[in-house]
């Protein structure tokens, strides 16, 4: 990701690296694995089966059950997406569509996984463009910070089961908050490690960064309601 600061008030512009229908859904994740590690991958359903299961489950929600939809989104990204994609290697040009079968760049990790969950978005354009565009297209309550401490203090005051997209100077990823902590889920370019989920305080990517743009994906009610109908 590249960053440039326009002269006019230095506005950040952050770049992305190149229940059955009759019963209220509880918002549980599809696979049921919490923070699964590579040891569990052999027990996970095929990724295509997982995507089909997500499609069935999200369509079972009632339109007005926004909190349950948010909980489902959180669990699906924090638990299921992480379980499948953990360890998939980073590459600047990585665009792989199936976890573990190639490399994935940070921007494509966001757009590919959201596309896999059924969100309607311009997957390639948003992955290759500025992360501010990605955030502004999908998120609400967008904030800018010029220090890690400012970002951390803000997130501490935010509600649990929240999903954010964050843009850094040269990177992007998900921020996830629950009762156990605040996590950064991303395709890590450092040493080409790839997809990891780490506490934000332990993230070199975050702590060494200077400028942050963050938006709340799970608070976008219109987007969530469109998602369960699609």
Give the pLDDT of residue 64: 77
- CA–CA separation, 18 vs 41, rounded Å? 28
Give the pLDDT of residue 26: 44
Cα angle at 113 between 112 and 117, to 5 degrees?
120
pTM of the model: 0.84
Average pLDDT for runs of 10 along the chain of length 230: 34 41 47 47 87 95 90 97 98 97 98 98 96 97 97 97 97 97 98 98 96 97 93
Which sequence spans correspond to the domains of the chain? 26-229
- As a whole number of Å, the end-to-end CA separation of the chain is 31
Ramachandran quadrant class, 10 (left: phi over 0; alpha: psi -120 to 50; beta: rest) = left
β-sheet bridge partners, residue 145: 212
**In sequence order, what are the residues at sequence separation of 6 or more whose Cβ sits closer than 8 angstroms to the Cβ of residue 75?**
27, 28, 29
User: What are the structure tokens assigned to 42, written together?
Assistant: 């052999």
């Amino acid at each position: 990701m590249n960053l440039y600061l326009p002269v006019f008030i230095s506005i950040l512009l952050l770049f992305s690296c190149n229940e059955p229908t009759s019963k209220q859904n509880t918002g549980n994740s599809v696979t049921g694995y919490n923070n699964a590690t590579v040891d569990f991958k052999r027990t996970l359903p095929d990724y295509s089966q997982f995507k089909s299961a997500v499609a069935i489950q999200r369509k079972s929600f009632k339109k007005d059950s926004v909190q349950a939809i948010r909980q489902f989104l959180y669990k699906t990204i924090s638990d299921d997406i992480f379980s499948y994609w953990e360890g998939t290697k980073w590459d600047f040009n990585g665009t792989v569509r199936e976890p573990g079968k190639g490399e994935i760049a940070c921007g494509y990790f966001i757009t590919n996984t959201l596309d896999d969950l059924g969100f309607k978005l311009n997957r390639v354009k948003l992955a290759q463009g500025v992360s501010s565009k990605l955030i502004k297209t999908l998120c609400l309550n967008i904030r800018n910070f010029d220090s890690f401490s400012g970002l951390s203090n803000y997130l501490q005051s935010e509600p649990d089961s929240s999903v954010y997209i964050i843009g850094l100077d040269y990177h992007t990823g998900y921020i996830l908050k629950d009762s156990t902590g605040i996590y950064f889920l991303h395709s890590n370019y450092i040493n080409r490690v790839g997809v990891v989920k780490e506490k934000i305080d332990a993230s070199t990517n975050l702590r060494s960064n200077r400028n942050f743009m963050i938006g709340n994906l799970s608070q976008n009610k219109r987007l969530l309601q469109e998602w369960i109908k699609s």
